[in-house]
Structure 1
Amino acid sequence: MAVASSPSSLVDVDRVRQDVDEILAGHVADLRLELEHLGPAVTPLVEAVERMLSGGKRLRAAFCYWSWRAHGGTDLGTAPGAAGRVAASRATVLRVGAALELFQAAALFHDDVMDDSDTRRGKPSAHRHFAEVHQGAGWAGSARRFGESAAILLGDLSLIASERELALAVAGLPEAARLRVRGVFDRMRTEVTVGQYLDVLVQATPWGEDPVADEERARQVIRAKSARYSVEHPMALGATLAGADDGAVRRCRGIGLPLGEAFQLRDDLLGVFGDPGVTGKPAGDDLREGKRTVLVSRALREADLDARRLVLGRLGAPDLTTDGIDELRAVIVRTGADRQVEQLIAELADPALATLEGAALEEPGRSMLVELGRAAVDRQT
């Protein structure tokens, strides 16, 4: 696979990050004004939303924007799309990108509670932060429960914001175009929510006896929870906003799903081997959280009896030490599981990128989508 540009540099092209950030900043400002009459007690909620939105790669917004460009979207505004459909303006596409980022914020608030994650982008996760506030103030009741409740409500606030941004974005489109866009967005939100449940289910059910079946369940979670909303749906949204026909949208899905799965597999590798100074997560955090990933299922498949016992005994242990993480990493490397996952990433991404490179799409949209795809699967953060 060719060396990719960094995601950070790519999302800056054509001011995508800057313009989406301005929309998100406007949302935070509006939220602060809207809640002002409720008094200073709600200020920490607005600040927590602002912190979550201040990070992120903006890859989903970029996939949406450059898919719109690749399928004929222009800066000139509304234009006829395929089969008489209406193409959205750049402003509309960027607002849909902001809605994607707000939906991701909601998913992250909730995901951190379900995974009991300590950090998010190098800072305490929302439920940890609010638990610390509770404990420091000496308030009544459980600090942990208070923190989790606050984070759940923050996720709900972000979901409301995502719906608002989407509604504002598509308000000026004809009804048929508006319904097509909402159909893609609503399908994405439904799949991610069900994917979260599948993830919880996988974490709760017996695991380790059949690594092949374990891997298939892990990949099912990846597709539903992450892959589709990371790449497939943003690309499909961009094509839909450009007025592309159903065949073009299906092509986006065929390219986006394997790229999204490769994106999450890269995330799983970084969760075990990534540099904390780059990823913003503690070293080996996924092992401490006991995430049941393709990487771990491959290690179990290849491990001898003693190594299997070590993995099953220590994965997700609440008292897992740094030495314990190093031992688990050593098993993964010794079994070649990390190299197998790298190979799987290539098997998923390379054909998808080749299809994208050969597609009859507009420039520079097509080339930017190829570069974004490479960056998504080769990134170090």
Structure 2
Amino acid sequence: MGTMTPLLTGETLHEVVLRQMPAVDAALVEHVSQARTAIPHAAPDYARLWDHLGAQFIGGKNLRPQLTLAAYVGLSGDEPTPAVPVAAAMEMLHTAMLVHDDILDHDEVRRGRANIAGLRRSDLAASTLPEDKVDDQVMAAALLGGDLAISGAYDLIIRSALPAHHRVACLDLVTRAIRATIAGELLDVYGDILPVEQSDPIMVSALKTAWYSCVVPLLAGAKLAGADPTMESHLERLGIALGVSFQLIDDDLGVFGSADVIGKSTLSDLRSGKRTELMRLGFERADAAQKAVLEAHLGDPHLTEKGAAQVRTVLEDTGARKAALRLARRRGKEASRIAAERIPAPLSGYLVRLIDELQGRAS
């Protein structure tokens, strides 16, 4: 344990983590500011793309940096400042994944505002380019912006003041997160050509969401704290359970939630034909008439609110929604049990509280 232990000054772990969020935000802002001028002979568009990327950090939940800092402080008791660059890298990586995921989903809005693709389209609003050329420009900006964010995640760790072995360990975790996410994205995208009943949304959630959102941030903090392999194993199991639960609730909100809460249209997932566990259960449980409704509307790019309401009715009447939320609660309880039984205080209490808060998002 360090001699300057924040938890012995009266602060809870939750308070310590929240106190560091401005430092994480500052690290991200500083990185964007430095990176946009790092290539002095680059065209102004290079700096503008970094500006568009920087705008994506506004309004996020900061779940990933919080998990990193909580694991570090909760397992070591040390002042969290040395872990801030790694926490910022976790948020940078998250942004990269969102930018690239929006490309695959053809979304140009994120958190209620234009994402990189949407900002590039706005830049070209007054141009005389043909529509297909504008679309090419939008796609290129989003793809390259996501690539810049990935480079930023690595750079934040490389340039930190951490010992070399800690930097290498965290870089390895970022690589593992990217590979798991790509595997999940492939399973997700390739699943679009299969019948919905044959999709594997739970595996997609574990690979595409849980690994980079929960497992890797927790493991990064744990490695910096000097945790042993057994503790890392517990955190990995907890992170997968938590991430799957998180995604199941997100998928429910994407259909039954409010656009004001989720930051995008509740028609988006349905229009893109997203293969979620909620939808898989709907197809599995639907009778012929109900299945016809789902087939008519899922993946329709021009889906109206009236059509979406019909889909929601089927998902409710078949019990698919109830079953998906029940699974979300079960995986959340699994994560809480691991935290309570296998993770030492104060991290255990922090994680149980966080899991309860995330479960509470379900309507």
TM-score of the two chains, using structure 2 as the length reference: 0.90
Aligned to 2:222: 239
Flag structure 2 segments of 5+ consecutive residues without an equivalent: 1-13
Q: Which residue does the alignment assign to 2:292?
A: 309
| CA shift digits 1:328-375 (9 cap, x unpaired) | 111111111111111001111112202212335132x32212212222
> For the structure 1 residues 255 and 41, does the alpha-carbon distance in structure 2 shift closer, same or farther, using more than 3 Å as the test?
closer
The answer to whether residue 209 in structure 2 is matched with residue 195 in structure 1 is: no
- Residue 37 of structure 1 and its aligned partner are, at CA, apart by 4.6
Q: Equivalences for 1:214-293 in 2 at 5 Å?
A: 214=199, 217-293=200-276
**Contact residue 73 and residue 225 of structure 2 kept, 8 A:** yes
Superposed CA offset, 1:172-205 (max 9, x none): 3143x443333322211211122222211112x2
1:182 partnered with 2:171: yes
Matching of residue 151 in structure 1 with residue 142 in structure 2: yes
Are 2:98 and 1:108 aligned?
yes
Asked if 1:379 is matched to 2:353, the reply is no
Q: What percent identity do the matched residue pairs reach?
A: 28
Confirm or deny that 1:22 pairs with 2:26.
yes
The structure-2 alpha-carbon separation of the partners of 1:275 and 1:193, relative to structure 1 and needing over 3 Å to count, comes to: same
- The alignment partner of 2:20 has SS state of helix
Which residue of 46, 52, 55 corresponds with 1:51? 55
Q: Distance in 2 between matches of 1:12 and 1:339?
A: 37
8 A Cα contact 1:278 1:380, kept in partner = no
TM-score, scaled to structure 1: 0.86
What is aligned with 1:344? 327
Partner of 1:207: 195
**Contact preservation (8 Å) 2:56, 2:115:** no
Which secondary structure does the structure 2 equivalent of 1:127 belong to? Answer: helix
Shift in CA distance, 313/189, structure 1 to aligned 2, threshold 3 Å: same
- Return 5+ residue gaps in structure 1 as ranges: 1-9, 76-89
Instruction: Tell me, in whole angstroms, the C-alpha distance in 1 between the residues paired with 2:308 and 2:43.
Output: 45
1:120 to 90, 110, 118: 110
- Pick one of 119, 137, 158 that aligns with 1:129: 119
Determine the C-alpha separation between the residues in 2 that align with 1:159 and 1:174: 20
Deviation, structure 1 residue 15: 1.3
- How far the C-alpha of 1:259 sits from its partner, in A, is 0.7
The answer to which of 252-261 and 135-144 deviates more is 135-144
Once the two structures are superposed, residues 95-150 of structure 1 have per-residue CA deviations (whole angstroms, 9 ceiling, x without a partner) of 11110111111111111111111311112332233234334222366111110011
User: Partners in 1 of 2:187 and 2:46 — Cα distance?
Assistant: 33
Contact between 2:120 and 2:137, CA under 8 Å: does it hold in 1? yes
Q: CA deviation at 1:13?
A: 4.5
RMSD between superposed Cα atoms in Å? 2.0
Distance 1:142 1:174, change over 3 A: closer
Give the partner amino acid of 2:223.
T
Q: Deviations over 1:256-289 (max 9, x none)?
A: 1111100111110110011111211112321111
**Which deviations, in whole Å up to 9, do the C-alpha atoms of 1:37-61 show, x marking residues without a partner?**
5353334312211111223111011
